[in-house]
Amino acid sequence: MPRIVMKFGGTSMAGSERIRHVAGLVKREAERGNEVAVVVSAMAGETDRLIQFCREAASVYDPREYDVVVASGEQVTSGLLAITLQGMGLNAKSYMGWQLPIRASGHAAGLIEGIDAEVLEGVFRQSGIAVIPGFQGVTDRGDLATLGRGGSDTSAVALAAAMKADRCDIYTDVDGVYTTDPRIVPRARKLDRVTYEEMLELASVGAKVLQTRSVGLAMRYNMPLQVLSSFEDLPGTMIVGDDSIEDRNMERNVITGIAHDQNEAMVTLTGLADEPGTLARIFAPLAAANINVDMIVQSAHESGDGRVLTFTVPTASLAHAVAALEQAKEEIGFDEIRTNTDVVKVSAVGVGMRSNAGIAAKMFETLGARGINIIAITTSEIKVSVLIHEDYTELAVRVLHTAFGLDQD
């Protein structure tokens, strides 16, 4: 019997009416002869609401208790879906993260260390449907854990890998992966197929349609992923290995997609010593504090006394980064720290870049022609990212989308 995982995001689970609709989709797959496990998100907006309560309870809160609070959103929707499926005459039951168990490495943004699929085997033997709250795991101490924002995607893929599913379907509020966020560029084009590698890069630079870790997992297990709409019956986007796309050179663009990430904050240190070892003294305390540094730009000081270093960190880590640097001020030796959160990272991604020069040049030219100043740049083999002022987000995404020939006809 074919086995599938169906994952439903927050918008798809927002309210009884939508849950009933989701139950209908699950029923249809079960009646087609599939063994089905369903992974659900909390209702749209619920996780934000729960996080806000934690913030109101205390400015610095215990991650263990944070997990107890925020994991509850998924507990509610999984129970409601199971009840709805039962009402349709199906043998459905919910299983919390600790009941499988889904083992997580720690609190607040835990990594999945393993899933025991034995419970599910029992469910399938009895022709049952398992409904599992996404985002939720259990630590080795038996405490509830959560997997980071958007983590239900990762729950779904990890579960699919553990139960050796034939496919993992991610149902969401758009009907597939587009060349850019269709809510920003209405002329964005739906992609029939994307490679794991491209999707991984797109997700990591801000295409939030899939959590980055879920794509990494799918790639590692070679798990076919499908992104599709839970509202419309349309073909979605398949995310597959490179070798499954034979016609890519004939049909596809050099650039697959444009993404943006508003979650970057800029840190500038002035008056640094122009000598070996300065950078190591700056980045060591950041690494020790587990802060990911992304873009880095170094320049000579305007007046010639010392160097200036600018880099970006996730906005959520900004306060930590500043604290770590202030603490190491004596050792590093700098005049001042400046921060700026009014920036956005815009990226162009495509495996075609490997065999095509001039992508960065075209990107700079396109943005320059619109008067958009580039603050920092980073590149990888299949990606060029630029940091710009956030006021230009939409304009930059739109003009790059057009310049790289991605607009729908």
Cα distances from 241 to residues 58, 131, 220, 221, 238, in angstroms, run: 45, 28, 10, 11, 10
Mode of pairing for the β-strands spanning 383-389 and 376-380:
antiparallel
Binding to ligand ASP, residues 209-268 (CB under 6 A): none
Task: Give the gyration radius of the chain's Cα atoms.
Answer: 23
Q: Which is nearer to ligand ADP, 386 or 406 (CB)?
A: 406
Report if residue 66 touches ligand ASP, rule: CB under 6 A: no
The answer to the question of residue 128 lying near ligand ASP (CB under 6 A) is: no
177 binds ligand ADP (CB under 6 A): yes
Does residue 236 belong to the site contacting Mg ion (CB under 5 A)?
no
- Strands of 17-166 (E only): list them: 35-40, 92-94, 102-104, 112-115, 129-133, 136-138, 144-146
Total binding residues toward ligand ASP, as defined by CB under 6 A: 13
Between CA 317 and CA 408 the distance in angstroms is 37
The nearest distance, CB 177 to Mg ion, in angstroms, is: 12
Nearer to ligand ADP, 182 or 306 (CB): 182
Q: Which span sits near ligand ASP by CB under 6 A: 29-37, 103-111, 147-155, 339-347?
A: 147-155
Closest CA relative to residue 98, chosen from 76, 71, 77, 123: 71
Q: Nearer to ligand ASP by C-beta: 166 or 173?
A: 173
Binding flag, residue 150, Mg ion (CB under 5 A): yes
Task: Identify the burial level of 82 via C-beta atoms within 10 angstroms of its C-beta, where 0-12 means exposed, 13-18 middle and 19 or more buried.
Answer: buried
The residue with tokens 């208790």 is 65
Is 41 near ligand ASP (CB under 6 A)?
yes
Min dist. Cβ of residue 215 to Mg ion (A): 12
- Torsion angle of the four alpha carbons 394, 398, 401, 402, in this order, in degrees rounded to the nearest 10: -170
- Strands (E) located in 16-152: 35-40, 92-94, 102-104, 112-115, 129-133, 136-138, 144-146
Q: Which residues pair with 93 in a beta bridge?
A: 130
Q: Are strands 307-314 and 264-272 parallel, antiparallel or unpaired?
A: antiparallel
The interface region with ligand ADP, picked from 5-13, 263-271, 278-286, 378-386 by CB under 6 A, is 5-13
Select 211 or 310, whichever has its Cβ closest to ligand ASP. Answer: 211
Query: Whole-number minimum distance, CB 229 to Mg ion, in Å?
Result: 14
Partner residues linked to 178 by β-bridges: 190
Nearer to ligand ASP by C-beta: 135 or 311?
Answer: 135
Q: How far is the CB of 22 from ligand ADP (least distance, A)?
A: 11
Phi-psi region of 210 (alpha: psi -120 to 50; beta: other; left: phi over 0): beta
Determine, following the binding rule CB under 6 A, whether residue 152 of this chain makes contact with ligand ASP.
yes
- The CB-of-137 to ligand ASP minimum distance in angstroms stands at 12
Q: Are 226 and 156 in contact (CB under 8 A)?
A: no
Q: Site for ligand ADP (CB under 6 A): which residue of 4, 80, 174, 194? A: 174
134 binds ligand ASP (CB under 6 A): yes
Q: In this chain, which stretch among 27-35, 151-159, 229-237, 372-380 interacts with ligand ASP, using CB under 6 A?
A: 151-159
Q: Interface residues for ligand ADP in 206-265 (CB under 6 A)?
A: 207-209, 257
67: alpha, beta or left, given left = phi > 0 and alpha = psi -120 to 50? alpha
* Residue numbers at the binding site for ligand ADP (CB under 6 A): 9-11, 41, 150, 172-174, 177-178, 180-183, 207-209, 257
* Residue numbers at the binding site for ligand ASP (CB under 6 A): 9-10, 41-42, 47, 73, 134-135, 149-153
* Residue numbers at the binding site for Mg ion (CB under 5 A): 150
